[in-house]
Amino acid sequence: MAKGRDPEPKITLTEGSVRVRRGEKILTLLPLPNFPNAEDPPDFIVDLDGILCWDAPHQAIEIEIEELGYIVHAIEEEFERLGLKVEFE
């Protein structure tokens, strides 16, 4: 790991949310609703447009595009590891 670079995101699934931790910063994601009558609905739908800043007390720090990529990748890996389905809107 390069000096000064944040560690890889750590993903925790809580009841009704996904929590992303990267160093001291935390991001809590709530799911978008599933489409009614979907044949194979995902377990969680992430609203990418809603990922702008970290949770308090780091709410002034914007999440950059590169960092968003790391977050999405970490979420995909964790859901796959748990045998769950995630979609990004």
pLDDT, tens digit (0-9, with 9 covering 90-100), for 28-60: 999 999 878 878 899 999 999 999 999 999 999
Asked if residue 5 has pLDDT above 90, the reply is: no
Closest CA to 82 of 7, 14, 8: 14
1 pLDDT band, cuts 50/70/90, is very low
Asked if residue 2 has pLDDT above 60, the reply is: no
pTM of the predicted structure, to 2 decimals: 0.88
Check residue 68 and give left, alpha or beta (phi > 0: left; psi -120 to 50: alpha): alpha
Q: What is the DSSP letter of 42?
A: -
Say how many Å lie between the first and final Cα of the chain, rounded: 31
Q: Where are the domains of the chain?
A: 10-88
CB 22 within 8 A of CB 7: yes
